Amino acid sequence: MSEITMIEAIRQAMTQEMERDSRVLILGEDVGRNGGVFRATDGLIDQFGEERVMDTPLAESAIIGTAVGMSLNGLRPIAEIQFLGFIYEAMDQVANQAARVRFRSTGRYHVPMVIRSPYGGGVRTPELHSDSLEALFSHTPGLKVVMPSNPYDAKGLLIAAIRDEDPVLFFEPMKLYRSTKQEVPDQLYEIPIGKAKVVREGNQATIVSWGPCVPMLEKLVDQYKKEGAHLELIDLRTVAPIDAETILESVEKTERLMIVHEAVKTNGIGAEVAALVSEKGVFSLSAPILRITGFDTPYPVGTIEDDWLPNEKRIKDAIQQLLSY
Amino acid sequence: MFREEDLTFERVERLNEDGVLLHDKKVVSDEQVLEMYQWMLKARLLDEKLLRMQRQGRIGTYAPYSGQEAAQIGSVFALEKSDWICPSYREHAGNMVHGMPLEQIILYAKGHLHGGRVPEDVNILPVQIIIAAQTLHAVGTAYAQKYRGEKHVSVSYFGDGATSQGDFHEALNFASVYQVPAIFFCQNNQYAISVPVEKQMASKSIAQKAVAYGMPGVQVDGNDVLAVYEVMKEAVERARNGEGPTLIEAVTYRLGPHTTSDDPTKYRSKENVEPWREVKDPLRRVRLYLENSNLWDVEKEKAFVQTFQDELDHMIDEIESKEKEFPKVEEAFEYVYQEKNAQLEEQQAEARRIREEGDWHE
Ligand SMILES: Cc1ncc(C[n+]2csc(CCOP(=O)(O)OP(=O)(O)O)c2C)c(N)n1
């Protein structure tokens, strides 16, 4: 065990998987000599060489398309998209190509690749660097979407993603890269993709979230507990597929549900979670389902982003509302 | 067979590193050279100021352009006010000359909601973050000009890294298929963040890529403001006369970090940077030329710097004194569509309420 940050956990997962399996390699912009703009791949070029840690020309569609080809022919690439907002450049290769190979070839081919990318707000980035785009990909059959919220999960989930036989999008909340340290096992371990985690137990209301909002919600839930309100907090960890069972079990107990995410509201993952509960758990509910999310505008400039993101005030107001039923 | 070896390579140069003209043929007057130099000096001072302000936490992430002033300013000098510029994020020097107000540049750097709002009478598109996307916008704005029979041209500015993107190649192809009045102006500053141009491409130049698209390609010393002006002037004239697009590669160097989040010591040595900071600096050779022509001296420089810095400081003070009045979150909802839909109306009211009631971020 050692106390490490999320960025270190991610680097450790890649390093150890590359040591274990010579088919694993990394490609992306500035991942080699520079070690990635967030240093996720720092030092890897020295350990594994340029053939396995590839500083690519600046072209996202080429990065993903090449990774698709590599995985069609026996390699297990980890492609980095420098910021998630830039993945639009590669949308065809992700959504039409990587996602559909298994289906189109009825299983003759498949693409065991990972696409890593930082995302999320609160760090005053320039335009187009903070968008949360998970819903786009969860709306694309054939893709898995993993979104860790802490170092321990990040390592175990990334290892599982690298070993997965299907394309996995692995989105990393950049706000949490270095915000905290956590005890993480030194050896390799997997956390199953598609399993949520109940991070705080309670019986009065359920809050479902993932990625960058989780640490803030943990603090809030602890605060409420001191004041005598017991909230259950579920970290989805994977947004495609969604762990419906864990959510439904919780809602059966608490009868109240709120979903918190940074992505814009309309047609977000929150809507999918609400629909699942409406279909399969509506008779457990004693209050309307609430969503606290980014607003339906493009991600805004730094001077107003704190008022745009789901913030404490909005979440507390919503909890008050839920508990009033 | 076509071979790279068969291409001839020439880099256009007019003013050498000692400030000596290499040709008798002078296409600009000394007054224009002086004016170019003064803009370059202003641009350098602005860049240094913004870099300092970022270090003090007064602006957000910033992409400095120091070292690229000749490429930007020399080329913009060849444009008319009505011509279009489709810039990247490292283009304040050229934009300034084309009419972008300094205030606007500072608001953008401060993350002000109106930072991307270009004045009505200035034909510059908002700062482009997505690498190479603006190359296609230059094709489209140029097509519109041609369609209406106007004589304006469109220039897209981008870096060496951008030439790897599909958009760049598609833009060149479209521009030459439709013979639009577009100019593709690449500032080859040698690096795309950490990736040196030799790793970005296996071809010997960027200019030669024009050949594949059936248009003229020119390589120019991008730190030589007179050479840049001259090649740009020719390209602009061709475009205005209906003779189609041109690709220009201005070979220059980014003196600073990629952005304020970047640590260039990870990928390039001090020895690599030093000559560019000294003898190859784009301001130095123009200053030498002007001094030798008795148009400029240390005193003039001192006074000019003082005046501009005072003007800049005053403007920044003004802006910073009004930071509390910067637009609030609810205004953002006004710019999503021509008319707000029902959801946006509701969310706007919610955003305003939360902000007004909340003191959570004070
Ligand atoms: C589509 C896209 N991919 C990646 C990035 C991240 N990024 C910003 S600048 C940059 C390098 C650009 O290099 P170049 O085109 O040479 O221009 P320069 O920054 O040197 O002016 C990269 C990779 C981006 N902004 N957009």
Tell whether B283 is covered by a domain: yes
Based on the fold, state whether residues B117 and B243 are members of the same structural domain: yes
Which residues on adjacent β-strands are paired with residue B154?
Answer: B84, B182
pLDDT for B9 equals 92
**Protein residue with least CA distance to atom 6, ligand 1:** A82
Based on the fold, state whether residues B35 and B136 are members of the same structural domain: yes
Q: What 3-state class would DSSP assign to B326?
A: coil
Answer yes or no: is the C-beta of B159 below 6 A from any ligand 1 atom: yes
Based on the fold, state whether residues B168 and B228 are members of the same structural domain: yes
How many domains, in total, are found in chain B? 2
**Backbone torsions φ then ψ of A115, nearest 5 degrees:** -115, 115
Q: What's the mean pLDDT when you consider all of chain B?
A: 96
For residue B353, what are the domain limits? Answer: 328-362
Cα–Cα dist A42/A56, whole Å? 16
Q: How confident is the model at residue B61 (pLDDT cuts 50, 70, 90)?
A: very high
Q: What residues of chain A, 128 to 187, have a C-beta less than 8 Å from chain B?
A: 128-129
Based on the fold, state whether residues B52 and B192 are members of the same structural domain: yes
Tell whether B2 is covered by a domain: no
pLDDT for B362 equals 46
pLDDT greater than 90 at residue B24:
no
Taking the centre of ligand 1 as the mean of its atom positions, its distance from the CA of residue B161, in whole angstroms, is 6
pLDDT for A212 equals 98
Tell whether B200 is covered by a domain: yes
Q: What is the mean pLDDT of residues B326-333?
A: 98
Prediction pTM value: 0.97
Q: How confident is the model at residue B27 (pLDDT cuts 50, 70, 90)?
A: confident
Based on the fold, state whether residues B197 and B345 are members of the same structural domain: no
Domain boundaries, chain A: 2-184, 197-323
Q: Which fold has domain A2-184?
A: Rossmann fold (3.40.50)
Based on the fold, state whether residues B308 and B338 are members of the same structural domain: no
Out of A129, A139, A230, A261, which one is annotated catalytic? A129
Tell whether B1 is covered by a domain: no
In contact, B282 and B225? CB cutoff 8 Å:
yes
Does domain A197-323 fall under CATH 3.10.20.30? My reply is: no
pLDDT for B26 equals 74
Based on the fold, state whether residues B15 and B26 are members of the same structural domain: yes
pLDDT greater than 60 at residue B53:
yes
Cα–Cα dist B46/B52, whole Å? 10
Based on the fold, state whether residues B282 and B353 are members of the same structural domain: no
Cβ pair A34:B194 closer than 8 A: yes
**Cα A4 from chain centre:** 19
Helix B102-109 crosses helix B30-55 at what angle (to 10 degrees)?
A: 20
Based on the fold, state whether residues B105 and B209 are members of the same structural domain: yes
Q: Exposed, middle or buried, B146 (CB in 10 Å: 0-12/13-18/19+)?
A: buried
CATH number of residue B11's parent domain: 3.40.50.970
> Is the minimum CB–CB distance between A296 and chain B shorter than 8 Å?
yes
pLDDT for B359 equals 64
Based on the fold, state whether residues B285 and B353 are members of the same structural domain: no
ipTM tops the 0.90 cut: yes
In contact, B66 and B280? CB cutoff 8 Å:
no
Answer yes or no: is the C-beta of B201 below 6 A from any ligand 1 atom: no
Tell whether B93 is covered by a domain: yes
- Strand (E) or helix (H) holding B277: helix B270-277
pLDDT for B49 equals 98
**Which of B68, B86, B193, B251 is the best mutation target for the ligand 1 pocket, counting ligand atoms within 8 Å of the beta carbon and taking the most?**
B193
Cα–Cα dist B246/B232, whole Å? 9
Report the percent of chain B where pLDDT is more than 70.
99
Q: What 3-state class would DSSP assign to B237?
A: helix
Cβ pair A34:B332 closer than 8 A: no
pLDDT for B160 equals 98
Q: What is the mean pLDDT of residues B235-252?
A: 98
What are the pLDDT digits (tens) for B78-134?
Answer: 999 999 999 999 999 999 999 999 999 999 999 999 999 999 999 999 999 999 999
**Which of A55, A58, A84, A174 is the best mutation target for the ligand 1 pocket, counting ligand atoms within 8 Å of the beta carbon and taking the most?**
A58
Q: Which residues of chain A have pLDDT under 70?
A: none
Based on the fold, state whether residues B311 and B356 are members of the same structural domain: no
**Protein residue with least CA distance to atom 17, ligand 1:** B159
Based on the fold, state whether residues B354 and B225 are members of the same structural domain: no
Q: How confident is the model at residue B25 (pLDDT cuts 50, 70, 90)?
A: confident
What are the pLDDT digits (tens) for B133-184?
Answer: 999 999 999 999 999 999 999 999 999 999 999 999 999 999 999 999 999 9
What are the pLDDT digits (tens) for A78-126?
Answer: 999 999 999 999 999 999 999 999 999 999 999 999 999 999 999 999 9
Q: What is the mean pLDDT of residues B207-225?
A: 98
